[in-house]
Structure 1
């Protein structure tokens, strides 16, 4: 069936079949136009009423917007047409008629709120601006995968149904698994660590994660896409180097291959972040936040960085930056402490000026220390034996991180709500479509 010519490829002087959606119909009296839209763009179909079959003209002018049509005809040059060419039809078939009352306007002339857009996502993605976001997201993921391969990584896929959570029993979605309780995985963390102890050594994964957090903010989801990295014989500084390389590669791919989409979104000034992201210690970070004077209360050692603190520090730094050397007590059990200071972890976060993108660090690879970490956080090591026992069989030093794909797209494009960066978001209120 797809013997058609895309709108952008129609050449004057040729016979062509174009197919797509009716974007709009303009009746100017003796002449009328149907604007047809497909994935490549729009093309004008011209009806000269006195020179064409009445049935053909009637069909073309009575079809509802967003109906799917198939047009056969001759492509002619027309400077006044939106793309410089138009089709003079010999036939027009209405393949699928659309209801006259649409829940939203794909032309974008009438705005719709985000909830209505998400309820009707298929229609929403017919808008050029919305489609551009997901074309950019696809390019971002392609560029990320290519950079991982340049780093010598093997792509893996880990289970999303697990017996225990990555960090214990909190914030987990339980599921019934053949009469047993199981959970949707919060992170591939434990599995990717096991892989660095295998013959693969350096791995990455792009896949879904699930967090049963009862939040309702413009930057949180309950199902998200995590871009994960882990490497044997890496420390936390090596991992930060890899993290920066991947983030910059994502921007470079979009800058090089998405010029049209960026223009559609009004982002002609899009640029790749400068290299050498600043690395602030946690202590330096809280001192800089306090010095801004923008918080009601001063931060003290051990405090997490609140949203207000992140905004204050981000505005002060003005670019992507790392926060390193977090207090051991606020990082998970698998994060290794500094050898010369057990109160200080090798954990780090990568921050965009507006929010956190990445959490990572060097991992604890020594079996006894790992077991101690479980116990200190009130977790039962026995529940994680599939994981811990492998550390008795020669686990190398290793480090890695997890990057939120939607957050990367959100910050890259300046989106106001993270739900705009995922086709079918899942949050506290939304389970369909």
Structure 2
């Protein structure tokens, strides 16, 4: 099949703009062949673009031979441009169709396709991810990433209105940000470097200059966990605020959750219907549970856990049944939190760290930070880290480090909550996990 050139053709309308009100108007639409039905004497082609779908009706008696021939050579997912006349038709989807005058085939989809975009024939997740570009053309894929776009757009707007300055920090670093072994080493000319686990140290340093900062960017964790909620490359939404405590930034987090939920409900109704999902507005302020209260609740449910232990997944699942929506867990044991989380003044074994939970899944983590250089050095040593590896970060504490607090939200987990998607890989365009490095 010969591929046509675009030449002077330009889209006049998106599919959603084809309505009965423009009956009789000549239009030029572009997109992909979603479906084809040949009923003998008449052919129906569903054309899809980024905003929706429209029916192209090809009656043998009303189109010229060239147009009829081209329509008959089309396959699902071919890229096409159609110039034709809008016709009001009650029986057609949305009560309107286009009778083509000319068709251009701009791109050919190799047959057979690796998966059915309509979803009538379900495909396994790995098959879908291997053919991700095609998979994303599905109604489900379109809905997820339109919601994701809305969340990112709204988050930037919300934080900017709150006075936060957007920053971009290095993703190639010389030493660990969070501590631990979950680092991806890379060759950086003659030296070893790492992919950043988070912008934590940089955002703490930058509040000396800008007071309130936020970043939305990639982060990397070389964790071997292979679950439906873990990936190795993800988008982290981070804030840091000078002259603030954990409670101050918890208020920012809960207001953001309310705002994002409200915006998705208002702007993404069609996408939510496609996904069969409902987003409830959280009641503010969000519930705050201390670590002690959580341990007591779990013990009452016969979960074997003692104070000071990290909470395992099975226990979180139990907790999620008790608290099915958003809530905070505060006052974590200091030893369970990173070195930069401040111990409480009245009880150093307890930290000013918190987690924001959605049911049983952690959405965010944050807290009041340590702002005294000597305490930071002590905390580094307590966690088996070498202060000399953090000399540039520690140097910032010599320039008037203010008390400060912040948090990081995992975008993908938030999108899972807002879309009802159960596998985190489905809310990432091209996910990376322990076993997937392509496409």
After superposition, the C-alpha distances for 1:324-362 in whole angstroms (9 at most, x for unaligned) are 111111111111111111111101111111311111110
**2:97 aligns to what?**
86
**2:354 aligns to what?**
348
Cα shift at 1:59: 1.4
What are the equivalent positions in structure 2 for 1:15-30 lying under 5 Å apart?
15-30=26-41
Preserved CA contact (<8 Å) 2:324 2:360: no
After superposition, the C-alpha distances for 1:226-284 in whole angstroms (9 at most, x for unaligned) are 010110001111111111111221111111111111111112x4222221111111111
Cα shift at 1:160: 0.2
**1:33 aligns to what?**
44
**2:336 aligns to what?**
330
Q: 2:271 aligns with which of 261, 283, 296?
A: 261
What are the equivalent positions in structure 2 for 1:109-148 lying under 5 Å apart?
109-148=120-159
Write the distance in 2 (CA, Å) between the matches of 1:400 and 1:50. Answer: 68
Aligned length: 428
Preserved CA contact (<8 Å) 2:117 2:135: yes
User: Cα RMSD (Å) of the superposition?
Assistant: 1.2
* TM-score w.r.t. length of structure 2: 0.95
What are the equivalent positions in structure 2 for 1:149-228 lying under 5 Å apart?
149-168=160-179, 170-198=181-209, 200-228=210-238
Cα shift at 1:100: 2.2
Q: Which runs of 4+ in 1 moved over 4 A?
A: none
Per the alignment, in what secondary structure is the counterpart of residue 426 of structure 2?
Answer: helix
Residue 76 of structure 1 pairs with residue 69 of structure 2: no
After superposition, the C-alpha distances for 1:66-102 in whole angstroms (9 at most, x for unaligned) are 1011111111111111121111111111111212200
Q: 1:6 aligns with which of 10, 14, 19?
A: 14
Q: 1:46 aligns with which of 57, 64, 70?
A: 57
Write the distance in 1 (CA, Å) between the matches of 2:138 and 2:228. Answer: 22
* TM-score w.r.t. length of structure 1: 0.97
Cα shift at 1:18: 1.1
Cα shift at 1:169: 5.5
Preserved CA contact (<8 Å) 1:35 1:42: yes
Preserved CA contact (<8 Å) 2:10 2:28: no
**1:247 aligns to what?**
257
- C-alpha distance 288-169 of structure 1, shift in aligned 2 (>3 A): closer
Gaps of 5+ in 2: 1-8
Cα shift at 1:55: 2.8
After superposition, the C-alpha distances for 1:193-214 in whole angstroms (9 at most, x for unaligned) are 001111x100110000000111
**1:389 aligns to what?**
395
Gaps of 5+ in 1: none
After superposition, the C-alpha distances for 1:283-333 in whole angstroms (9 at most, x for unaligned) are 11100111122x3xx211111111111111121123211111111111111
